[in-house]
Copies of this chain bind each other. A is one copy, B any other.
Amino acid sequence: MSDGINKVVLAYSGGLDTSVILKWLEDTYNCEVVTFTADIGQGEEVEPARAKAEAMGIKEIYIEDLREEFARDYVFPMFRANAIYEGEYLLGTSIARPLIAKRLIEIARETGADAISHGATGKGNDQVRFELGAYALMPDVKVIAPWREWDLLSREKLMNYAAEHGIEVDFAKQSGKSPYSMDANLLHISYEGDLLEDPWNEPEEEMWRWSVSPEAAPDEPTYLELTYEKGDIVAINGEAMSAATVMETLNRIGGENGVGRDDIVENRYVGMKSRGCYETPAGTIMLKAHRAMESLTLDREAAHLKDEMMPRYAKMVYNGYWWSPEREMLQAAIDQTQQVVNGVVRVKLYKGNVIVAGRKSESDSLFDESIATFEDDAGAYDQKDAAGFIKLNALRLRVAAKRRK
């Protein structure tokens, strides 16, 4: 089973699963393996992956800090769209996959590899996201998804394989391991499996890692001022900061205030429903604040069009079509609207709540007190215009009503 594969770039975390995959790839395909490990804000050291890869004899080892690129070129553009999947999910896992796919392919080109490999299972969305991205960027690449090929489908078999092949398993870590399947990056940490497999079960408090419970959050609210430029946050409380720093800051402060937990049943692209819990402190704040900034600065019809496009956009990202003409097409429309989304939003965080406490825009506010006021507006708006407006809008309804008689 060689398929003529000479070199594979593997998305390598340094953990048990991808270490087994590394060995399995070498044995099964008789090929060279290049490892790629990225810091996208998952909150774990990536350098230890180097020693592990070296110990397994890997010569080409890529370890990279992609946090800024991830926040700036993936998360922020997505938040310009106010993207939410199925009314609840902020797409934390989905948005990280296109970047990983892109780097896998770039490294394949650099190293002359003809295949990529990943540790995503055959039941999930991530395999789709990795592979659609890879194929879109390098159409003849070969993709090896060991979980769809091998027979190591239980943890016991996997451990045995590791033992047989001399793969060192960090037992200390394994034994303290969460019973949940988790994924983390700057935007969120997710939990699936175990008790969550019954959607009637409430998650245990000890499951959550990034946030305190609303009950445990401080009794005093925290206020933040978020400065927007072209739809992106560029400063917090007046202090300019990079995209990744914005997210790290909001994750920390949000988490301290019990903000950003979600617990949903979602529809996977591969066809089944699944239960997931998510902690997305920064994202929860960003969505609320971005909508508030737009509410002041965006034209009504542009805003409504964005709202109608949003579910499609979110579905594209969820399903793995970041690298697609249709996503780029919607992004062009969305970004076109964000030139005027400038100003400041003040939010209040309190025990799980994100409350908009003010919004202003010196340059781009479309809110005109002189028109909206309940007091005399000095002729800025002629109330009599409304009669004609209503009459013409009603005309088709009136003609139809007459017909019905």
Question: Taking beta carbons and an 8 Å cutoff, which residues of A are in contact with B?
Answer: 82, 86-88, 121-123, 127-128, 131-132, 135-140, 143, 145, 147-148, 153-154, 181, 192-193, 197-202, 214-215, 219, 221, 261, 263-267, 270-275, 291-292, 295-296, 298-308, 311-312, 315, 321, 323-326, 328-330, 332-333, 335-337, 340, 346, 348, 350-353, 355-360, 363-369, 371-376, 381-403
Say yes or no: B302 contacts A312, CB within 8 Å: no
| Choice from B267, B337, B390 contacting A127 with Cβ under 8 Å | B390
A211 to B19, CA, bound (A): 55
Q: What's the number of copies of this chain in the assembled complex?
A: 4
Residue of B nearest to A287 (CB): B87
- Docked Cα-Cα span, A307 to B309, in Å, equals 10
**Given known contacts A350-B352, A352-B353, A392-B389, is B333 in contact with A136 (CB within 8 Å)?**
no
A154 close to B376 (CB less than 8 A) = yes
Specify the chain B residue showing the minimal Cβ separation from A273. Answer: B367
Question: Quick one: which of B366, B383, B399 contacts A122, CB cutoff 8 A?
Answer: B383
Residues in B whose Cβ lies below 8 Å from that of A381: 123, 272, 395
Complex Cα–Cα for A264 and B345 (A): 12
- With a cutoff of 8 Å between Cβ atoms, the chain B residues found around residue A273 in the complex are 295-296, 300, 366-368, 372
Asked whether, in the complex, the Cβ of A148 is within 8 Å of the Cβ of B387, the reply is yes
B383–A386 contact, CB under 8 A? Answer: no
Assuming the contacts A300-B267, A325-B302, A351-B351, asked whether A199 and B136 have C-beta atoms less than 8 A apart, the reply is no
B385 and A86 contacting across the interface, CB-CB below 8 Å: no
A145-B387, A199-B367, A299-B400 known, 5 other contacts, Cβ within 8 Å = A131-B394, A143-B390, A153-B376, A200-B360, A300-B396
Q: Find out whether the CB atom of A386 lies under 8 angstroms from the CB atom of B122.
A: yes
Residues on the B chain within 8 Å of A153, using CB = 376
Looking across the interface, which residue of chain B has its beta carbon closest to that of A202?
Answer: B357
A sample of 24 cross-chain residue pairs with beta-carbon separation below 8 angstroms, ordered by A number, consists of A82-B87, A86-B295, A87-B307, A122-B384, A122-B385, A131-B394, A197-B373, A199-B358, A215-B221, A261-B355, A272-B395, A275-B372, A305-B326, A308-B308, A308-B312, A329-B336, A332-B336, A340-B403, A350-B352, A365-B403, A385-B391, A387-B388, A389-B391, A389-B393
With A389-B389, A392-B385 given, is the CB distance from A371 to B265 under 8 Å? no
When the two chains form their complex, are residues A390 and B265 in contact, meaning their CB atoms are under 8 A apart? no
CB distance from A221 to the nearest CB of B (A): 8
Most buried by B among A147, A311, A315, A386: A386
| Chain B residues near A392 (CB-CB < 8 A) | 270-271, 385-386, 388-389
Rounded to whole Å, the gap between the CB of A395 and the closest CB of chain B is 3
Q: Which B residue's beta carbon lies closest to that of A193?
A: B374
Least Cβ–Cβ distance between A200 and chain B, in angstroms: 4
